């Protein structure tokens, strides 16, 4: 019996680690730009593999990076440290501004999020300034100072959205005037075409040739969609899905299914030819087998992602109906169990994958709750921890707001051993400023 059990386990392990399984796992973990490059590489190296639609736009234009607007609900890039505030404050004080404008500028800089964006509305900023400094600025004064901050170094800080951020960087760039003008026009007026890679439309609308478009794409790729990050490299967003509402129903489009592959029939016919030696036939057969394996793995990737996104849409209906206000608790292990997938497959599938909605872009992982164990060993959703943090902050003494370290100690005292860095991550995800910025003072 023991030998029989050992053989059965080894058999399953061999099946699990087969080349087909490993290739499927590799493809499902890829972002859409990585997948595009993998397909191109396979097409170049395997002559038996071809695209069904030879006019596919992917074969003609292949930028390595794609931009899409970021959103405050996501938590995927929170661990970076922000070091830009001090520099911006120094630059602000070197501008020719009066005292009230300096106060407005400091309030704007103090409320920038982890990416360098200004998510708070003019009314919220005005109310905050009124309570802290006992004067009420006009919206046009807020906008005037915000524009100044946007053109400090790094350019694009305090932008309301990605278009503003990229436009500000282009305006401060030293590119050729004609190229700069066309680049700004593309961002302002044809951004949707750009994010969805409709390059032929852009060529027509902007009256460009392909060489000029490629130059513009190269320039835009050098811009930083997250100017608040101190990292040397930038992280870019590649949406795998677009969700749109039609007649009250959600419609999903998969951008990752941009290439339909097939085996070239000419090579299949060569296997039956008597004019080819056995060695050549063996080579062709191996290439055909490789092509079939790649097509199968690609189809499996797309099918698994589609099933997972359908599950998310069904489970998180309230999220999409309320424009992101309500997020239901949802665990990866539950998705794996209900869809009959391995947990590792679900985890790979939602990692670094994004979905574009009418109200923002989200990482698939952000729809999941991740359990935190309390002192009794019970699993608690991280959403519950967030609610506890918010409740602590809502009830704090505003003249002496609690720090992240103090919040962590309070949570530990109630049975939730959460680290200070975890508290900071959850607080930032809820767009709650740190303690020093929550303290109410008067000028």
What's the chain's length in residues?
Answer: 443
71 pLDDT band (50/70/90 cuts)? very low
Say which residue the tokens 């090579």 belong to.
267
- Mean pLDDT value across residues 147-160: 92
**Domain boundary at 208, 232, 256, which?**
232
Q: pLDDT, tens digit, for every residue of 275-293?
A: 778 888 888 889 889 988 9
Are 26 and 150 in the same domain? no
**Domain boundary at 366, 387, 403, which?**
366
| DSSP calls for 321-386 | HTTTS------HHHHHHHHT--HHHHHHHHTT-EEEETTEEEEGGGGS---EE-TTS-EE-HHHHH
Count: domains in the chain: 3
In a domain? residue 191: yes
In a domain? residue 10: no
At residue 128, φ and ψ (nearest 5 deg) are -65, -45
In a domain? residue 70: no
CA distance 393 to 109: 21
Domain that holds residue 282: 19-60+242-366
Are 122 and 228 in the same domain? yes
Provide the percentage of residues in the chain whose pLDDT is more than 90. 16
Question: Measured on CA atoms in the order 151, 153, 155, 160, is the torsion positive or negative?
Answer: negative
Q: What is the mean pLDDT of the chain?
A: 78
Are 208 and 131 in the same domain? yes
Q: Which of 165-179, 348-362, 376-390 has the lowest mean pLDDT?
A: 376-390
Of residues 343 and 292, the one with the higher pLDDT is 292
In a domain? residue 97: yes
- Mean pLDDT value across residues 159-170: 93
* CA-wise closest residue to 317 among 305, 325, 349, 359: 325
Are 259 and 401 in the same domain? no
pTM, 2 dp: 0.49
Pair 226, 77: CB distance under 8 Å:
yes
- Give, as one character, the DSSP assignment of residue 68: -
pLDDT at 368: 79
373 pLDDT band (50/70/90 cuts)? low
Q: pLDDT, tens digit, for every residue of 169-191?
A: 999 887 888 889 999 999 999 98
Q: What tokens appear for 133 in the block?
A: 């400094």
Are 165 and 196 in the same domain? yes
Q: Which of 49-58, 321-330, 409-418 has the lowest mean pLDDT?
A: 49-58
Are 213 and 100 in the same domain? yes
Our separate counts of H helices and E strands in the chain read 22, 8
Contacts of 315 (CB under 8 A, 6+ apart): 328, 330, 367
Are 174 and 214 in the same domain? yes
Pair 7, 283: CB distance under 8 Å:
no
In a domain? residue 400: yes
Are 93 and 56 in the same domain? no
Pair 110, 120: CB distance under 8 Å:
no
CA distance 290 to 292: 5
Are 206 and 91 in the same domain? yes
Are 38 and 175 in the same domain? no
pLDDT at 307: 92
Pair 48, 270: CB distance under 8 Å:
no
Most confident listed range (35-49, 95-109, 148-162, 187-201): 148-162
**E strands in 6-165:** 49-51
Q: pLDDT, tens digit, for every residue of 216-225?
A: 888 888 888 8
Beta 379-380 vs 372-373: how paired, if at all? antiparallel
Are 43 and 132 in the same domain? no
* CA-wise closest residue to 94 among 168, 156, 149: 149
CA distance 402 to 387: 16
In a domain? residue 9: no
154 pLDDT band (50/70/90 cuts)? confident
**Domain boundary at 366, 389, 411, which?**
366
CA distance 190 to 200: 12
Q: Which string of b and e fits 229-256 if b means at least 16 CB within 10 Å?
A: beeeeebbbbbbbbbeeeeeeeeeeebb
Query: Over 70: is that where the pLDDT of 80 sits?
Result: no
Are 87 and 192 in the same domain? yes
Most confident listed range (36-45, 135-144, 245-254): 135-144
Of residues 148 and 92, the one with the higher pLDDT is 148
Query: Over 50: is that where the pLDDT of 73 sits?
Result: no
Q: pLDDT, tens digit, for every residue of 1-17?
A: 333 333 344 444 344 45
Angle formed at CA 149 by CA 363 and CA 128, multiple of 5 degrees: 80
């Amino acid at each position: 019996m023991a030998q029989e059990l050992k053989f059965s386990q080894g058999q399953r392990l061999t099946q699990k680690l087969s080349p087909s399984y490993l290739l499927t796992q590799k493809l499902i973990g890829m972002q859409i730009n990585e997948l595009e490059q993998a397909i191109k590489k396979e097409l170049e190296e395997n002559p038996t593999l071809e695209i069904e639609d030879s006019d596919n736009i992917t074969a003609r234009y292949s930028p390595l990076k794609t931009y899409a607007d970021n959103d405050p609900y996501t938590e995927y890039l929170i661990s970076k440290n922000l070091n830009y505030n001090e520099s911006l404050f120094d630059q602000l004080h070197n501008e020719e501004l009066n005292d009230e404008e300096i106060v407005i500028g400091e309030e704007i800089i103090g409320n920038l999020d982890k990416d360098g964006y200004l998510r708070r509305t003019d009314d919220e900023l005005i109310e905050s300034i009124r309570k802290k400094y006992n004067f009420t600025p006009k919206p046009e004064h807020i906008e005037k100072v915000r524009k100044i901050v946007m053109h400090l170094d790094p350019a694009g800080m305090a932008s309301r959205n990605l278009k503003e951020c990229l436009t500000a960087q282009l305006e401060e760039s030293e590119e050729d005037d004609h190229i700069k003008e066309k680049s700004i026009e593309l961002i302002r007026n044809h951004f949707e075409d750009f994010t969805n890679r409709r390059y032929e439309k852009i060529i027509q609308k902007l009256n460009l040739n392909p060489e000029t478009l490629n130059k513009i794409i190269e320039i835009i790729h050098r811009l930083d969609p997250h100017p608040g990050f101190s990292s040397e490299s930038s992280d870019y967003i590649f949406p795998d899905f677009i969700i749109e509402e039609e007649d009250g129903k959600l419609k999903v489009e998969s951008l990752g299914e941009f290439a339909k592959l097939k085996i070239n029939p000419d090579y299949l016919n060569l296997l039956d030819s008597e004019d080819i030696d056995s060695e050549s036939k063996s080579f062709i057969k191996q290439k055909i087998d490789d092509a079939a394996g790649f097509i199968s793995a690609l189809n499996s990737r797309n099918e698994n992602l589609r099933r997972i996104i359908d599950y998310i849409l069904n489970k998180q209906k309230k999220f999409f109906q309320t424009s992101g206000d309500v997020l239901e608790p949802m665990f990866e292990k539950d998705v794996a169990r209900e869809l009959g997938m391995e947990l590792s497959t679900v985890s790979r599938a939602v990692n670094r994958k994004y979905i574009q909605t009418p109200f923002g872009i989200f990482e698939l992982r952000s729809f999941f709750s991740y359990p935190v164990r309390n002192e009794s060993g019970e699993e608690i959703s991280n959403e519950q921890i967030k609610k506890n943090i918010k409740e602590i902050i809502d009830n704090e003494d505003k003249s002496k707001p609690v720090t992240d370290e103090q919040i962590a100690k309070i949570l530990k005292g109630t049975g939730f051993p959460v680290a200070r860095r975890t508290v900071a991550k959850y607080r930032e995800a809820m767009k709650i400023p740190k303690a020093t910025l929550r303290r109410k003072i008067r000028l």
